[in-house]
Structure formats: C-alpha cells, structure tokens
C-alpha cells in the first residue's frame, strides 16, 4: 500500500471537516428543532450539548484518527484488538446513510433545474409526490424505478466517486475548498434577501421568542443532544477517518473548536434565513407562523417552492440559490460518508483506492436505486429514522463508554491531543465524555426504545418497520462483527513504519 495520503493544508482539512458537518441537517433540521424546543431558550441546552458532547467527541475522534492513523476499523483495532468491530459498525452505518443521502441530493439537483420557471406550479406537494417521486399509495410497495430520479442520482454518484477516486488532497480537499466558500456566499445572499422580505421580522420574532419553561423539559435536552450529534457527523467514523489524514503536527483541539463553532454558526444562519422566509410566507397567506413551520423534505421541497412562488421578482434566482445550496451542502457531506468505507475497504483488503471506489462506491450506487422507486420515500423515511436513533446515537454511546471506561482510557488520548495543540483540554473533557455524554445518550436510547415499543414509527406497518428498520440496524452490527473476525490483508504494521 502506498504511503498514507495527507491533507495539503490545515485550511483544507477544516474546509473538509466543516463540509461534512454542514449538511442538510443545518438547513432543514435545525430551524424547526430550535423553534419547537423553546425558541430563544433552546440556545442554552444547545450550547450545553455542544460543549459537553459535540466538541468533546469531535476532539476524541480527531485524536483517535490522528494518533492511530487509519480508517475507523484500523484505528480501533490499533487501540484495542477487541475494538475493530466498532469501527466496522460505524462504517456500515455510514454506508447505509450514504445510500439514501445521495437520493435527496438528486432531488435537489432536479429542483435546481425546476427553479427556472418555477415548474412546480401552484401545488408543490402534488408536484413532489406525484410528478417527481411518483410515490405509491401504500408504503411497502417498492414498485418500479423512477427514471426522473435515477438519472440525477447517477449523476450525483458519478461526481462523488470521481472526487473520491482523485484522493484526499487532490479530490476531497479541492472540492471542499471550492464548495464551502461558495455555499457560504450563496447562503448569505439568500439570508440577506429573506431578511428584507415583508414579514421577516415576524418570522424572526417567532424563532427567537424564548419559552423559558422548555428548559425544564427533559425532551428539550434530548433534542439538543440529538441535533448536535447528527449535525456534527459524530459517532459514525467520518471525523475519525478525515483526521487520519492529518499531518503529524496538527492542532487537534483548535481544529475541533473551529469545526464545531463553524457548524453551529451555519445552523444559526440557516435558522434566521428559514424563519425570515417563513414569516414572509405566513404574511402572504394570512396564516400564523406556526402553521407553516416544517422540517426535512417538506420544508425544502414543498414549503420553499411555495415561498419561491410568491417571491417578489427574481424567483428563479432565489430558487436556484436555495437548491444549489442544498446540493453543495449535501455533496460535501456525502463524500465524507463514502470516504469512511473507501478507507476501510482499502486497508482491510489491501486494494488500491481506485478498486475500493469501484467496488464500494458502485455497491452503494446500486443499493441507492432502491430509494429511487415508487415506494422509495417510505423506505427512506424509515431507514433514516432507525439508523439515526439506533445506529448513529447508539454507536456514539458505545464508542464513548468503551473508550472512557474500558479500553486504555481517556488520559493517553488527552495527552496526545494536548501535546500538539495550543489549547489544552482539562478535567471538563474527561468528565463530559465519561459521565455527561453516556448519561444523556443512555437516557435518549432508553426513551427511543420505549417510544418504539409503544407504537410503530409514523404508524408504518410492522412488516416494513421490521425489514427497513430493525433488520437494517441489526445487520450493520452483525456484519461489522463478522468483518472484524477476518484478518487484515494489508501489512498494517509495516505500513505504520513507512509513515512520517
């Protein structure tokens, strides 16, 4: 195997890490989560979660990647011979996520084009579900491939796999150095324009109005931790893989703070932009803001098209900027998830990057076609819910507990990071990881299990929940364990020494 690839510059690494973190979650998830969990008062649980879980785990994952210099499976294997499975588990979670994440980007590509002439017309919901997705009436029917989705999907994969094939600094870093600054500029234009719309002030009022009672509500704290986890891409091998390409001399702690705050900054910006636009729409339609607040697919592909319809001039420009922002934010995240298994496959089976991209990437491409069918949206919804709640969050919990309490402990890792960082972490870091995060995530897990035993997620049929939900989250653990029993094809020890 060739010498380990490296980032070309610190700036490049930060752009890539921020590129992974800043994704659809910032734009379509954060605004509604904050609004529904206390508005301005949500700031406190959110900041607390950022400082006791988000940034500490980022530092942890950056340190592991930097210290052990491998994909997640290899790094965990080097940390403890018994930990390789954890790496595969996280990598497989990433694999599952990328298969549907790519599909959402494909829709955003379509909508960028639809923006010219606001082709969704006056009923954007019928347009989305009927015309674009050709959604089947009942969940569980997979049906046929929808060519209108398949084509942009293949395009998304072609771009992502090409960038990955080019490698860490010539591919991933280069793309992020272009996409992230461009995304920020495009998004700033949207936000500034939205702020000047009639009704923006009412929108912002609704968003920032603090509901202080919410601070006493456990649900709100769980929502804050959930948002931080998802938003920072922690717990599923991404940040660990990216940091394994850092040069020996790298300021880990500072990089983690920059990444964490940049992601939250973008989230706040999105909250302002989205609520300014929602305030405008509520005023146009003469309804209270509460009725137009949505998150996820509904916000991006139904509510935003309606807003763009009512836009006073230059609708196409606003639409293109919005959907292109989704494409850019999504592409940089997609590439980071796929890199986790490209790196894992490369090291485990001792194959070239090209071969890993071809085998791993094309397998993911083929599986992603499942979501480009008539029943694709239902499938996507269930897989997304289960993999986030019983994949990402659970793997994060297990990671933190095993490292803090079982393997070699946090002291050595902390020393490793502190020795090369300007900013040194103290007792706060260890306490957050060994006590606060496990308690909160443990409670979250318990609560999600309880809810799911009470009733099926979104009332979906049990058979579908069992296959698309339970079977998928179980399979990623089982396959992860099986893979960890296979030996390493590459000479992982000698490869070690070659590194400078």
CB-wise, 19 or 45, nearer to ligand PHE?
A: 19
Does residue 25 belong to the site contacting Na ion (CB under 5 A)?
A: yes
- Residue whose C-alpha is closest to residue 29's, from 384, 400, 310: 384
CA dihedral 50, 249, 243, 353 (to 10 degrees): 170
Find all residues with CB under 8 Å of 489, minimum gap 6, and list them.
Answer: 348, 349, 350
CB-wise, 29 or 78, nearer to ligand PHE?
A: 29
Give the one entry of Na ion, ligand PHE, none that residue 365 binds, where binding means its C-beta sits below a cut-off of 5 to 8 angstroms depending on kind.
Answer: none
- Residue whose C-alpha is closest to residue 383's, from 153, 101, 66: 101
Minimum distance from CB of 302 to ligand PHE (Å)? 19
Q: How far is the C-alpha of 40 from the C-alpha of 220, rounded, in Å? A: 12
218-231 and 252-285 helices cross at what angle (nearest 10)? 110
Among the listed ranges 20-28, 181-189, 383-391, 448-456, the one in contact with Na ion (CB under 5 A) is 20-28
Minimum distance from CB of 53 to ligand PHE (Å)? 14
Would you report the helix, strand and coil content of the chain in percent, each value rounded to 5?
Answer: 80, 0, 20
Using CB under 5 A, count the residues that bind Na ion.
Answer: 5
Does residue 383 belong to the site contacting Na ion (CB under 5 A)?
A: no
Q: Which of 6, 20, 26, 250 binds Na ion (CB under 5 A)?
A: 26
Minimum distance from CB of 182 to ligand PHE (Å)? 17
CB-wise, 25 or 319, nearer to ligand PHE?
A: 25
Do 368 and 99 contact (CB within 8 A), yes or no? yes
Q: Which of 21, 24, 92, 334 binds Na ion (CB under 5 A)?
A: 21
Give the one entry of Na ion, ligand PHE, none that residue 195 binds, where binding means its C-beta sits below a cut-off of 5 to 8 angstroms depending on kind.
Answer: none
Residue 373, beta-bridge partner list: 145
Among the listed ranges 23-31, 341-349, 372-380, 428-436, the one in contact with Na ion (CB under 5 A) is 23-31
Give the one entry of Na ion, ligand PHE, none that residue 306 binds, where binding means its C-beta sits below a cut-off of 5 to 8 angstroms depending on kind.
Answer: none
CB-wise, 26 or 448, nearer to ligand PHE?
A: 26
CB-wise, 230 or 318, nearer to ligand PHE?
A: 230
DSSP 410-435: HHHHHHHHHHH-SSPP-HHHHHIIII
Minimum distance from CB of 329 to Na ion (Å)? 8
CB-wise, 124 or 391, nearer to ligand PHE?
A: 391
Does residue 70 belong to the site contacting Na ion (CB under 5 A)?
A: no
Give the one entry of Na ion, ligand PHE, none that residue 97 binds, where binding means its C-beta sits below a cut-off of 5 to 8 angstroms depending on kind.
Answer: ligand PHE
Minimum distance from CB of 396 to ligand PHE (Å)? 13
Give the one entry of ligand PHE, Na ion, none that residue 190 binds, where binding means its C-beta sits below a cut-off of 5 to 8 angstroms depending on kind.
Answer: none
- Taking CB atoms, the residue at the shortest distance from Na ion is 231
CB-wise, 15 or 197, nearer to ligand PHE?
A: 15
CB-wise, 238 or 282, nearer to ligand PHE?
A: 238
Minimum distance from CB of 393 to ligand PHE (Å)? 13
Q: How far is the C-alpha of 403 from the C-alpha of 408, rounded, in Å? A: 7
CB-wise, 22 or 41, nearer to Na ion?
A: 22
Residues in 216-235 at the binding interface with Na ion, rule: CB under 5 A: 231
- Scored b (16 or more CB within 10 A) or e, 232-270 reads bbbbbbbbbbbbbbbeeebbbbebbbbbbebbbebbbbb
Q: How far is the C-alpha of 467 from the C-alpha of 140, rounded, in Å? A: 10
Kind and range of the H or E element at 32? helix 30-36
Chain center to CA of 197: 30
Residues that bind ligand PHE (CB under 6 A): 20-21, 23-26, 97, 101, 230-231, 233, 238, 333, 336-337
Two tokens at 97? Answer: 């996520």
Residues in 249-268 at the binding interface with Na ion, rule: CB under 5 A: 263
Minimum distance from CB of 158 to ligand PHE (Å)? 19
CB-wise, 337 or 464, nearer to ligand PHE?
A: 337
Number of neighbouring beta carbons within 10 Å of residue 47: 14
Minimum distance from CB of 55 to Na ion (Å)? 13
Q: What is the 3-state secondary structure (H, E, C) of 185-224?
A: HHHHHHHHHHHCCCCHHHHHHHHHCCCHHHHHCHHHHHHH
- Residue whose C-alpha is closest to residue 264's, from 465, 42, 490: 42
* Chain contacts with Na ion (rule: CB under 5 A): 21, 25-26, 231, 263
């Amino acid at each position: 195997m060739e010498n380990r690839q490296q980032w070309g510059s610190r700036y490049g690494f930060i752009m890539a890490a921020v590129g992974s973190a800043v994704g659809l979650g910032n734009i379509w998830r954060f605004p509604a989560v904050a609004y529904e969990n206390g508005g301005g008062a949500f700031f406190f649980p959110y900041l607390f979660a950022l400082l006791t879980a988000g940034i500490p785990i980022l530092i942890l994952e950056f340190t592991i990647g930097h210290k052990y210099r491998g994909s997640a499976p290899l790094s965990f294997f080097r940390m403890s011979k018994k930990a390789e499975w954890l790496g595969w588990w996280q990598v497989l979670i990433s694999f599952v996520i990328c298969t549907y994440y790519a599909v959402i980007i494909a829709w955003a590509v379509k909508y960028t084009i639809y923006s010219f002439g606001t082709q969704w017309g006056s009923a954007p919901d019928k347009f989305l579900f009927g015309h674009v997705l050709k959604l089947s009436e009942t969940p569980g029917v997979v049906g046929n491939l929808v060519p209108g989705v398949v084509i942009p999907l293949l395009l998304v994969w072609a771009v992502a796999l090409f960038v990955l094939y080019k490698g860490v600094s010539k591919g991933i870093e280069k793309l992020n150095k272009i996409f992230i600054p461009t995304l920020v500029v495009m998004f700033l234009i949207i936000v500034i324009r939205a702020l000047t719309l009639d009704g923006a002030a009412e929108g912002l009022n609704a968003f920032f109005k603090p509901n202080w009672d919410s601070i006493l509500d456990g649900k709100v704290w769980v929502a804050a931790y959930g948002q931080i986890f998802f938003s920072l891409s922690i717990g599923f091998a991404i940040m660990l893989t990216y940091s394994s390409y850092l040069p020996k001399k790298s300021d880990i702690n500072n990089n983690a703070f920059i990444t964490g705050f940049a992601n939250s900054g973008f989230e706040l910006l999105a909250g302002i932009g989205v609520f300014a636009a929602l305030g405008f729409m509520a005023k146009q339609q003469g309804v209270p803001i509460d009725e137009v607040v949505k998150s996820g697919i509904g916000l991006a592909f139904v509510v935003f098209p309606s807003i763009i319809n009512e836009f006073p001039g230059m609708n196409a420009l606003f639409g293109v900027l919005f959907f292109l922002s989704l494409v850019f934010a999504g592409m940089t995240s997609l590439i980071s998830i796929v890199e986790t298994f490209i790196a894992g496959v490369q090291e485990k089976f001792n194959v070239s990057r090209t071969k890993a991209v071809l085998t791993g990437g094309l397998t993911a491409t083929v599986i992603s076609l499942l979501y480009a069918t008539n029943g694709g949206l239902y499938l996507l919804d269930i897989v997304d819910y289960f993999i986030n709640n019983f994949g990402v969050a659970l793997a994060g919990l297990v990671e933190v507990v095993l490292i803090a309490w079982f393997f070699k402990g946090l002291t050595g890792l902390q020393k490793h990071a502190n020795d090369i960082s300007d900013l040194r972490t103290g007792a706060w870091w260890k306490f957050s990881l060994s006590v606060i995060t496990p308690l909160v995530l443990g409670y979250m897990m318990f609560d999600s299990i309880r809810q799911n035993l009470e009733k099926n997620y979104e009332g979906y049929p049990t058979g579908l929940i069992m296959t698309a939900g339970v079977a998928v989250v179980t399979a990623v653990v089982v396959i992860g364990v099986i893979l960890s029993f296979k030996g390493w094809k590459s000479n992982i020890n000698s490869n070690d020494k070659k590194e400078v």
